[in-house]
Amino acid sequence: MNALLKSVTIVNGNTTDLHLKKRDILIKNGVIEAIENQIEPTGKIKVIDIKNLHVSLGWFDSGVSFGEPGYEERETIENGLQTAAKSGFTDVVLNTSSHPTPDSASDIVYLKNAGKDQLTTLHPLGNLTVGGEGEVLAELYDMKNAGALGFYDYKHSLANANMLKIALQYAQNFDGMVFSFPLDKSISGKGIVNEGITSTKLGLKGIPALAEELQIARDLFVLEYTGGKLFIPTISTAKSVKLIADAKKKGLQVTCSVAAHNLVITDSALEDFDTHYKVLPPLRTSADIKALQKGVANGTIDLVTTDHTPLNVELKHVEFDNADFGTIGLESTFGMLNELFNVEETIAILTKGRSIFGMEEPLLEVGQKANLSLFTVNDTYEFSKDHIFSSSKNSIAIGKQMKGKVVGAIANNQLVLNA
């Protein structure tokens, strides 16, 4: 793949000499060959000359779900990775949400093979327990050797604290990352939205903030006892932020993420009973949102994830109580974050996190393989179904104002452009 990016603004906080400078970038055979003030195209080359085009290191998402295997009608791995590329993401971590779930080395090999030869690189997770049932530890070491980045029973919390203890102790032998979803089911019960004024007014069963915070507190106590590496995906409350901040001050190896929609949408959006807003963890209060935003800004929250969860239309077009949890998010996350933060903060959020999982960090330098996201920063628009690339259309962002548009991505010697 040969391309010449003309007069692009480089957003790269890692190098002060190029940061926010306009340059031409020449890419040959997928490698950055030159970064200069002016480069003239020669030979057969794709020239990309778009007004106000910006470029950064390729974006990273720590938690996406596709459908394959088992739910291909929701999203195949191929279409999911193409959606990620069109949304600017060059690396994505795949949740264990398929059927069957991946709990062996052969399952990890299958997923990696299904995702090969794509612009966006797929990094699968393996189940923490067999079948995600929380009873028997899965083949963690074998899955790690096969390429699993970590171990996660997707959206299922571990009721058995001893299972978490054993997993953390065992995984230390091979530097494994253990995921623990923050929800105490004995507290949340049959709740479907945040417990509070809105749930009471609408007559919907609530999930107390306590259900998340109690689970996190327990998990952090276990981590302090065992050591090891713990990742807490998609936190959603103010006290969760404080619990994790305190644990980090103690020196515990704990990292966490927040879903992009939990940073911008409150539970007041539920008043129309729109099932697009039914997500897990649930949408919380404005006070929670402020604490989450502050946690992202000060680094307590390590990652912002799209929490991309495609679902069949019939799983959402039902009564609110019966609808499944989840929203797609790959296509809308950049526009959401860029509306909330300035462009430098937004790109810092989207490009960080690979090192948490032991992945190699790309570099925006001459001689390095091109791993780049292309975007504009000032275009404003209302997000609609026309902006969705996914097979499923269950987006919480429909009707929301966005700032900035993704133009495409370059990685693995491939180029994808939306324009």
The catalytic residue positions are 307
Listed in order, strand segments (DSSP E) in 191-271 are 193-194, 206-207, 229-232, 254-259
Closest CA to 331 of 239, 252, 393, 255: 393
d(C-alpha 247, C-alpha 44), whole Å: 55
Nearest 5°: CA angle at 161, between 159 and 167?
110
Phi, psi dihedrals of residue 225, rounded to the nearest 5°: -75, -40
What tokens appear for 59 in the block? Answer: 């974006």
CA pair distance 363, 369, nearest whole angstrom: 8
Distance, CA of 57 to CA of 76 (rounded, Å): 26
Nearest to 304 by CA among 19, 15, 63: 63
Of 167, 166, 182, 179, whose CA–CA distance to 94 is shortest?
A: 179
Pairwise CA distance, residues 48 & 90, whole Å: 19
Please write down the HEC assignment for all residues of 112-135.
HHHCCCCCCEEEECECCEHHHCCC
Residue pair 408/418 in contact by the 8 Å Cβ criterion: yes
* DSSP secondary structure, 353-394, as one string: -GGGGTPPPP--STTSBP-EEEE-SS-EEE--GGG--SS---
Euclidean distance between CA atoms 83 and 61, whole angstroms: 13
